[in-house]
Structure 1
């Protein structure tokens, strides 16, 4: 078939023009010929051979001239093509420019049909609330950013901005964590003022530092000007902030929950004998304060439902006698070694108490709690659980469901408690020492169901076992797995769930754990902040600080 020729309209180049003779098919001197020998040696040619060489040179020049002509035309055609490509590219640019507004117009019309556009403002506001960080995550931010909720919601569209601004609940949480730099870099005062203006009730989480006290004082004064709208206060106190507390006296009508901690030992300024502002807060029901050295707080004890305090036992006793409505309490006595425990005296009846943490099992001898469901105990290595816990539980006749140990008591003592009180369905143990780790391993071994002695199961009523630690090295994963798997598969055990909580480091990713989960075991493997939060819940730290 003959090649079809086409000619470029601009340069006349025949795009399919064939060469009369391909130079690669040119008849070069054949090896072994006289011509080949002359080309590859310095022999002297004869006169007739000179005529032959002249003819070859002439023929070669003819082919070179033709090739040069084709190359020149091809180069000209390439330049023509480049101009044509540039023209096509310009045309494409113009088409894209025409397409962009059309595409945008279509998108705008499609947006009109979007279900999101028809969401009622009150539903949209509820969705916005779910974008807010938890108070704990909010105060962990090292720097303020307008690209985080709720501020970012005001930059999406006019409708979103209007809904966000008109939703006071979206602005109720105001977290400020002060660093070592000027605090205006962390949350500008002008934006704090705007934030305050958009809120109705306020949840203030303000954590100061001893650095840059002037800037922090300015911020706190601004917040204090709106104290009558505070519902929640989580406060990291510094020596510079303490004198400002007096201005809050009688100005906290809506405050329901308060958490107080100190930036450090040096923050507890000398001369501060008592903090009195909370006693006159008529709505306060939850109070917590952390230790360095104890400073008395005057509290409306009769109205409290949640309570955490690091204080001498005498202080706790006086508060608990009045706080008859407590539902949960964390009673920590960090100074117990400084003085002997007093005689029990009259038993304090806590008729509403459902969750209780005590730092010393000796505290139980002073209390009665008929509806208690969960108890957590801070264990010393040599403390015996049963002599203190058993009389208290018998006296209270409470429906205790969950038992948590901060530290691991001897295995036989724990097993005695579980056997003595079959109402305990959930067990949690938190370990952070080598000694506790060894005890925990022995205890898990005692809970493991032997295939040869399956009918003699220890504590068969347990339906959940949770283990936690700050470091992954304190829990033997193989022993944990063996214990959980044996109880899960035993027909004589009630186990339905298990948890492994590691705050630092990772939890094991193992196929055998996944198999148990697929079989229906409620298995929780948590690490980092999620694990820390779960451990704090088991140890009954308030979840609102």
Structure 2
């Protein structure tokens, strides 16, 4: 105890003392006390501020020292490189691949790893028109020495690994850039290209490593690529195949070794669809966009039915095509009921989907129904689902809500409604209008919010069930668009 604290005994110690009028002696005593007390208060305030500053400094020191011994800093370099290669954005269709400079900003070791790991520098994007960069700013292409130096430096960092190239076609704008890439065309493994057939006249040389090619037409720069192909082994003739894609995909099947095709994403017609399946028996991922035809094609003979024993992912719009296909290892199915104008066929028929799944005897894990009306037998046919996406008229979704959200056992209003999907972990419901959303909110409230074991949305998270009311938003958020949505947020 210091001198100040020993002299801080208050002169007025009882409540009655505060009710009396002070005399001269008391005024002097109280004034002296206030002077000492205020001074002591200032000293204590300064000590508290110093302690807070010391505490904050100590907390920052602890944080920095903990980060030094963190697990991520002590990972072996080869494992860190593996993490980088698996988590960086992949080349997808017409996206211009970014270089991994952001990794170099974390710390010195990450910078050293990022700049010396060749696999991070194998994606190249050649812009021949104005484009929007990752920062959202509009940029113009250039063939300046600095740009060419950056391209050359990236090629050096990529060592001798296969390259993934994205090009927009007006090559006369960036001739020097394209010449540099052409000098290493023997290393091209992936080519994504938007343009016209004249492009291919400049790259007729054999490309011994080319396995993937993605081509889009020039008129609509934002359109999905016309076609995307990936083969299990290299195809030196793949460039000529791409030339034929640009020439006319509607007239014939592209002259490739379809027996080695593993991924097909793009355009096709009902006429060529059976021919593709008969040849491409090694397909793993197949996403079909059907073109309209000027005439009503003859339905393929059902004797042409093909078993794709390795197919794991299938996306299709015209469900009639499922009648000619079986896929015993299928895990993911997406059906878009939209039929292009001019196609003389129906869209998504749930009965054809049921028949296809029964013939395939597959264990389906993910199902997406877009503009396709579901029915109860279809849901009964896929009890193994862990992810379900629905996009259709709300009136077709509301009747199934009791089966999507089984009542909690402790709920006094619980019924015996069995869950359709006992293993479901993700449910995405799109196009859920105001009326249907209100029904969903009521259902959620009745089956989760009133539970005695846990409040509503946390109960959903406990079961691993994610509700995505509007998929244009991040799936971890519920959009603030209506009172009914706000009601959902308050569960």
Measured against the shorter chain, the TM-score band is 0.5 to 0.7
Please name the residue that 1:515 is paired with: 458
Give 1:139's match in structure 2, choosing from 78, 91, 95: 95
Q: Distance in 1 between matches of 2:175 and 2:432?
A: 41
**How far 1:129 moved relative to its partner?**
4.9
Aligned to 1:59: none
Q: Does the CA contact (< 8 Å) of 1:408 and 1:439 recur in 2?
A: no
Assess if the C-alpha contact under 8 Å between 2:387 and 2:426 holds in 1. yes
Ranges in structure 2 where 5+ consecutive residues have no aligned partner: 1-60, 131-138, 340-345, 477-491
Quote how far apart the aligned CAs of 1:195 are: 1.0
Is 1:229 aligned to 2:187, yes or no?
A: yes
Shift of 1:513: 5.9
8 Å contact from structure 2 (residues 403, 418) kept in 1: no
Q: Which of 276, 300, 303 is the equivalent residue of 1:319? A: 276
Residue 354 of structure 1 is aligned with which of 312, 315, 318?
312
Equivalent in the alignment of 2:368: 404
* Corresponding residue of 1:197: 156
SS in 2 for 1:305: strand
Q: CA deviation at 1:311?
A: 1.0
Matches within 5 A, 1:229-308: 229-238=187-196, 241-247=199-205, 250-253=206-209, 255-264=210-219, 281-282=234-235, 294=249, 297-308=254-265
SS of equivalent residue, structure 2 residue 302: coil
Where does residue 104 of structure 2 map in the other structure?
153
Give how far 1:258 is off: 3.0
Return the offset for 1:280.
9.2
CA deviation vs aligned residue, 1:487-531 (integer Å, no higher than 9, x gap): 77999xxxxxxxxxxxxxxxxxxx976423454434265865866
Pick one of 389, 402, 406 that aligns with 1:429.
389
Give the deviation of 1:415 after TM superposition: 0.9
In the alignment, the residues of structure 2 paired with residue 486 and residue 460 of structure 1 have an alpha-carbon distance, to the nearest angstrom, of 19
Q: Aligned equivalents of 1:120 and 1:468: distance in 2?
A: 43
Corresponding residue number in structure 2 for 1:377: 335
1:172 corresponding residue in structure 2: 122
8 Å contact from structure 1 (residues 372, 400) kept in 2: yes
- Which residue number in structure 2 is paired with residue 345 of structure 1? 303
1:206-229 C-alpha deviation (Å, 9 max, x unpaired): 1416xx541245534432332222
Over the aligned positions, Cα root-mean-square deviation in angstroms equals 5.1
Aligned length: 379
**Partners of 2:330 and 2:230 in 1: CA distance:** 31
The alpha carbon displacement at 1:119 in A equals: 7.5
Taking structure 1 as the reference length, the TM-score comes to 0.55
CA distance in 1, matches of 2:95, 2:213: 15
Give the 3 Å change call, closer, same or farther, for CA 243–267 of structure 1 in structure 2: farther
Q: CA deviation at 1:472?
A: 7.6
CA distance in 2, matches of 1:321, 1:436: 36
Deviation at 1:290, TM superposition (A): 10
* In structure 2, C-alpha distance between the alignment counterparts of 1:290 and 1:462, rounded to whole Å: 42
Spell out, residue by residue over 1:122-151, the C-alpha distance to the aligned partner (whole angstroms, 9 max, x if none): 46655765784444599368xx8xxx6338
Structure 2 length-normalised TM: 0.60
Once the two structures are TM-superposed, the CA of residue 171 in structure 1 deviates from its matched residue by 0.9
